Amino acid sequence: MKPRRIRPFSAALMAFGLCVGCGDGTDWPAMGATAENFAPEVLVLGRAVYGDSCATCHGKDGSGAFGPDLRGKGHKYTYDQHRRIIERGKRSMPGFGASLTRQEIEAVVAHVRVGLFEHHDG
Ligand code: HEC
């Protein structure tokens, strides 16, 4: 194979702006919360669960650290997809389906979809 020739597979990846291990180029945080409505007590619980179980890897505000930025990803994933990632984990992220209750899982899903964009004092 000629050294300078771009292989079709690489060309296809570049054309779609994909890069394994890189962001997809979409400004997800700018897309904000989803239009879903969650009860205030669900969001309060979600914030607490997030602080205990997620913030070390994803940042207190969800903007990412060891794990990726979670803000606005409610527009990338459906509710069920989001929930499945959190329950089962994804590669180097552990699953929480066994360590959190169903209520806590639902609350933290609500937090990453909507709660991250709500600002409270303290
Ligand atoms: C030990 C560190 C760690 C903890 C704790 C952790 N995550 Fe993750 N999370 C990751 C990593 C790393 C990824 C990227 C996985 C991949 O795609 O390779 C990730 C991916 C995700 C994704 C998918 C993001 C995307 O853009 O595809 C979501 C949603 C998510 N985490 C939510 C959570 C929630 C909610 C919690 C708490 C219940 C949590 N994570 C706890 C490390 C962590």
Task: From the CA of 56, give the closest atom in ligand 1.
Answer: 5
What tens digit of pLDDT does each residue of 16-32 get?
444 445 578 999 999 99
Q: Report the separation in Å between the CA atom of 1 and the middle of ligand 1, taken as the mean of its atom positions.
A: 40
Q: Is the pTM of this model over 0.95?
A: no
DSSP letters spanning 86-113: HHH-BTTBPP-TTTS-HHHHHHHHHHHH
What tens digit of pLDDT does each residue of 74-110 get?
999 999 999 999 999 999 999 999 999 999 999 999 9
Distances (CA, A) of 114 to 10, 11, 76, 95, 100: 36, 37, 13, 21, 19
Q: Report the separation in Å between the CA atom of 31 and the middle of ligand 1, taken as the mean of its atom positions.
A: 19
Task: From the CA of 50, give the closest atom in ligand 1.
Answer: 37
CATH of the domain at 68: 1.10.760.10
122 domain residue, yes or no: no
5 domain residue, yes or no: no
Domain total for the chain? Answer: 1
Q: Report the separation in Å between the CA atom of 5 and the middle of ligand 1, taken as the mean of its atom positions.
A: 37
2 domain residue, yes or no: no
What tens digit of pLDDT does each residue of 58-73 get?
999 999 999 999 999 9
Find tokens 């890189």 and name the residue: 22
Find tokens 């169903």 and name the residue: 102
